[in-house]
Every structure is written in structure tokens, then in C-alpha cells.
Amino acid sequence: MLSISQKKYIHSLQLKKFRLQHGTFLVEGEKMVKELIQSDFELEFVFVTVGNKIENYNAIEISEKEMKSISALTTPSNFLAVAKQKKQVVDLTQNNLILVLDNIKDPGNLGTIIRTADWFGINTIICSNECVDVYNPKVVQATMGSLFRINVTYVDLVEFFQQNNSIPSYGALLEGKNLYQYPIKYKKAFLLMGSESFGIDNKLIPFITEKIMIPKFGQSESLNVAVATGILCSAYRQINR
């Protein structure tokens, strides 16, 4: 049975200030929890509802009512874990595309971008300090387990680009060159994606060495940032396999 203090603690992790305070975060869903157990993240608790088990792991059984009381989901899963956050550091040693995200606020978009990066074998994402917290439950859920394989760090992007100006930097901008005529030719490069509402911050424009855009053929005014990131990553992989 869950204690009152456990319920209060786990429920508090839905808020960023308490995630920062405790250095932990929530993971829900059978697939997600099982992938978490197989990852190098450190676990604090793993709960399953009565009748469910995880092979080779001694999870704590609780009732469906108790699970509902601690879940962040509208329809609670039978599996919930609390894991410790990892102190990630920027890793630019690999010869690969590096995603750089400026002011991405929507949890679903960030989670989908992380999942997309995992699909295309891109394992480093640099976020501006204004981006949504990667350990937000909605972000974690949207990654579908990819969070446990991707290095996500938060930095001041102006300082970051100043310190790493030897690496080519592509920026997704409406006034950029046609992606299909001017693809991302460098194996190691930054791909900068801007906010859903305002695009790339003006203070970052000087650091872009190549402006690129996805050509439009229909009437829509814009692309979702996660969808655009997926298209650009796919185009990168066509050249750099």
C-alpha cells in the first residue's frame, strides 16, 4: 500500500519545481517502464497494479485506485516508475547531426522531436534554457522511450554557438534555400529549429552558416516544428547514411 507521503511525493513530480528539487521524474506505461529498466537511468520506485509483473524485476504491487491517485495520465497505465534525472553534458565528439532547439514550449513537440531523432540515429539534442523541461510528464510520454537513449542538454545558445563556431550550422527559415536543391551536405553539423510561434530568435541568426527551408506546394501557412524536424532529418540521412 502507498503511504500518504509517497502519494504526495509522486504527485508533486508533475510540477517542474518539485522535479528540480528532488532530481527525479515520472515514467508511465508498460513499454516505457520496461525500457527505463533496461536503460542506464537509476530507478527509485517501480509500481504495477495487482496482477501485473515485470520479468526479472521486483516491482511494488498497488491497487488500480492507488495507481490512479498518482498517475499523470487521464487513463492511468498499470505501470509507473520514478527515476532519477541524469546530469547530461554536451557531447560534440560524434560525427553526426546535432539538433539545436530554440524556445520549444510544447511538450508534445519536444517529445516527438526526441523520438524522431532516435529514429534517424541522432543522439544529441541541445535545448535553449527557454525550452520546456525534458522531464515534463507529457514530454516523457511523447518520447515513447527514446528519452532513455538521447542526450538532451540545456544551454545558453548564444554562448554555445560562440564557443562552437567551427561546426557548420543550418537554420530552418522561410527565407532559406530549397532543402532539396541545397541539402545538408556536412556529416557533422548543427540543425537549428525555432519556436512554434516565433521561429528562430534574431540573436541566433548571425550564427547560422546555411539557411534552409522546406518548399511549400499547398496552401498551409506553416509546418509543425516536430514535423519539419522529421523532414529535415530524413533529408540529412539521404545524403549522410
Start-to-end CA span in the chain (Å): 51
Q: Which CATH superfamily is domain 4-84 in?
A: Ribosomal protein L30/S12 (3.30.1330.30)
For the whole model, what pTM was predicted? 0.94
Q: Is 225 helix (H, G, I), strand (E, B) or coil?
A: helix
pLDDT, mean of each 10-residue run, the chain (241 residues) = 91 96 97 96 96 92 95 94 94 94 97 98 97 97 96 97 97 94 95 92 97 93 93 95 84
Q: In this structure, is the dihedral angle defined by the CA atoms of residues 124, 127, 129 and 135, taken in order, positive or negative?
A: negative
Cα distance between residue 87 and residue 140, in whole Å: 16
Cα distance between residue 88 and residue 142, in whole Å: 20
Residue whose C-alpha cell reads 499523470 in the numeric block: 72
Q: Which fold has domain 97-239?
A: Alpha/beta knot (3.40.1280)
| Domain locations along the chain | 4-84, 97-239
Report pLDDT for 57.
93
| Residues in the chain, overall count | 241
